[in-house]
Amino acid sequence: MTEEQRAASDPAATDERAEELRSRLEEARAEAERYLNNWRRAEADLANYKRRAEQEREEMKRYANASLIINILPVLDDLERALGSLDARLAGLTWFDGIRLIARKLQAVLESAGVREIPAEGQSFDPRLHEAIHFAEGEEGKVLAVAQKGYTLHDRVLRPALVIVGKGKPAAEEGQASQQESQSNG
């Protein structure tokens, strides 16, 4: 109380006190601004998080099987390789027909899960779907042969088809020229 009286009687002290209050108000305002800002960010974060979580749940549903399927594909490859290199002595056995049916069943299961084979042989080489592992004489830019089949799950490439791509006629200068060029760098 005495302090207030003194403050009232002393203009300098009043100014000082006003100044102090002003700066305290300033601080409080700045703090409020900061909190409001953080709050807005937290709300925005939550909104974004919800949206993303929803998106990811959808993705998850669609591609949940992808990692399992990717590991099953080599088994299918091997089975197809086995069937493809069939010995004539075995071909007639009904036992072997059974094995063929098993392979077909596996394919059907994968297909029903949304797995599709990527068309490759005879197509134009497309690096979004095909992976080139070799060059060979043949129509330029076309897939001449498939070394390993590629597959998509829904609209995503699970694994590209490994293909051999044509590089044009054997006499074509182009292919050789570029090879020399790359060697000349070495």
Question: Which of 132, 137, 138, 152 is the binder for other proteins (CB under 8 A)?
Answer: 132
Please tell me the distance from the alpha carbon of residue 57 to that of residue 45, in angstroms, as a whole number. Answer: 18
Nearest Cα neighbor of 107 from 63, 66, 64, 75 is 75
Task: Identify the residue among 6, 8, 16, 48 touching other proteins (CB under 8 A).
Answer: 48
Query: For other proteins, how many residues bind (rule: CB under 8 A)?
Result: 38
Look-up: residue for tokens 């293909």? 163
Nearest to 127 by CA among 161, 85, 104, 166: 161
Q: Taking CB under 8 A as the rule, which mask of x and - marks residues 107-126 in contact with other proteins? A: ------------------x-
How many Cβ atoms from other residues are within 10 Å of residue 7's Cβ? 16
- The answer to the question of residue 40 lying near other proteins (CB under 8 A) is no
Q: CA dihedral in degrees (140, 144, 148, 152; nearest 10)?
A: 70
Provide the minimum distance between the beta carbon of 24 and other proteins in the complex, in angstroms, as a whole number: 21
Judged by CB under 8 A, the chain residues 67 through 86 that form the site for other proteins are: 78, 81-82, 85
Asked whether position 172 contacts other proteins by CB under 8 A, the answer is no
Quote the least distance from Cβ 141 to other proteins, whole Å. 6
Q: At what angle do helices 94-112 and 66-84 cross, to 10 degrees?
A: 150
Instruction: Pick from 24, 100, 104, 134 the residue near other proteins by CB under 8 A.
Output: 134
Q: Strand, coil or helix: what is 146? A: strand
Q: Taking CB under 8 A as the rule, does residue 130 contact other proteins?
A: yes
Distance CA 68, CA 47 (A): 32
Site residues, other proteins (CB under 8 A): 38, 41, 45-46, 48-49, 51-52, 63, 78, 81-82, 85, 87, 125, 127-128, 130-135, 140-141, 147-148, 156-157, 160, 162, 165, 167, 178, 181-182, 185-186
